[in-house]
Chains A and B, each alone.
Chain A
């Protein structure tokens, strides 16, 4: 859950009365834009992306205009622009017009939770407006502070003094930056970054630290962000439809963390435990449809609902249903297997049978009861299967599932389809129920 840009950022900054550049949204009229240019001398036109999208500036995604025609030209260029970063891409949906902020000094500022210090930490430099990763360490200060007392003026003044920052910028920053801790702490943020903060002289010549960009991420486990009343669609692009459906079941009892790995994958693996999830996802690679962690002893009903959703989205394209986990400490194998078996039966009843090979590796409480329930269900669904105990190396079980997948791809799927009385093993697209 991330927010980037001033369009939404300025609304957050207002909560703590932190100064920010003037900003107009995509709905701005020609007159408003004209007026903004008149007042600020120039405007920056920035595409609005949902969620985190990497570095926009370097990718030529920021336009600058000193007159209206130019501003509208940039608006047209950037309004639906597509931005590729790493393995991801995002499409803009609108632009903002941000008033230029004349300044001599640019400051970088962020707050995160530091795993090094195990405390909240401020990062600051007066060499802002550039990639901070590229700055030498002696030009940055990282200052952990006590969460009980929060970020204080002295943290800022000490850091800036140590950095040798120009004296005229210290006082306005000391006065304003602690407000950002309030924003960070009160609304469940896990990262907050303002870069650049431009030190703009006010009418009396005093410098004001104006936020000219905004980035933050939220702690998904902290409901405080809901106090901000942000529209839910802002975070929708962070998750696929499938992930969103699963996330609705997110409660503290039992994990339900999922990622879509490959929408065209052929192995669907409900995985139990973070460790198993890491190992299995790595070994399955591109063949996995999803990466999941359903450990933490989910109750029957939750596991049943999760399985139903997983099967609805992925099972018809899959060759292998792969249920895998280590030797569970507390997760009741009978309850979780019963839920998955019932959901599979339910899926077959609702959407019709589909050619599938089931591979299972698991250990834990109520193991044999759970395995035998699964066995009985699979026998009744007439599916081929192998169930391995926890005394088989998990990676070997993963390799077995991979080999089964390759065999299914070659001619196994066709054979299983025939044995189920289906006409062919042709894959149906996800969510396309048969027989309805």
Chain B
């Protein structure tokens, strides 16, 4: 397998081409976490399958070609279960069937004749929720198999938000499109897209732009995490938490508004750098705001963690064991809360980690809603500490351009960029053709891996605890549906 670094490109012809049988054996032999597994139309009815595995701090890339008459292969899921969702997606997009796949269900299409897993028995009942929900959230259908108040199985059917983003990115790639893919991870998506483009065009962005991007990414993480702590409090009818966290989140996103003109950071990041410089005056004001935010979050979290009624709801609710989480391939925040230690900020470190002294913080996972609650709190504090370090470094860097112009895109290239958004790794992969135009754009949101984790978390919990499990994961519908 070819070894590749994050944010780098390689010539398509350098990627090994194997037979699918060989590739399958190699994947099983490596037994690494899959980061991408997707196909590309290879002309004359052929399909080329690319696979990217994690081998921190590097990536392993390989591929296989399916001839026009090859329409099936022996699935990898039975050997490495984390591949289940990738193989389902590959089957849906290219019609090449993974044989003996244990759970070959649609990912985004075919909602009309979706066959749900059913439980039978006199006391069993099904509860169908969605696709339209009572709250202001995105559409998705949930089917619960219950016995009384206990959920035995949850099946999640998504795809209502499928917009064909990957094709659109090939036809008209732009920052505006990239930041609209998933509205709560604007900075993460836009940074991943910009880094891909910079890699392909050979642009080296300035230190200043890198630090501003890094600070904004952490602001996004802190803001969403604070909002989610409030949402968890709201779901258990703990009014004070909902109000306080709601108000403090506003302070963070309003600071983003000052920086970029959008509360969610739209328009901040662009190919070649960032669109807006942050003046010293704004930095000082932001630091003052963040100090207050940090204090409020700390106080409210500690109040909640001391409240026995709150703890009785959070503890031992929505538990996923570390083994199951690893098996299902959970990543990002939801994975870390279950003891799966995956964080691309530290797995694929950039130069700033060492220079600014940013270290991975240990977290003792308890695998339940409480674990996800505490992890969010810890990550908020860590984000603010990173932001402070970035701002301190920014003061030293004065005269640097915030945008660097680039040249032509590389031809026949394969580029990958992984950014740790607040949910987990946002993976963008782009390929160019012989004219230097994009020919395939692959996006993977962390929700793509983690939705199955939510289904596992709900098992053997009360139906009425589902909203709590759901809110503590807060997965993206549009990021999954693309």
Q: Do these two chains really belong together in a complex?
A: no
Binding site for B on A (CB under 8 A): none
Binding site for A on B (CB under 8 A): none
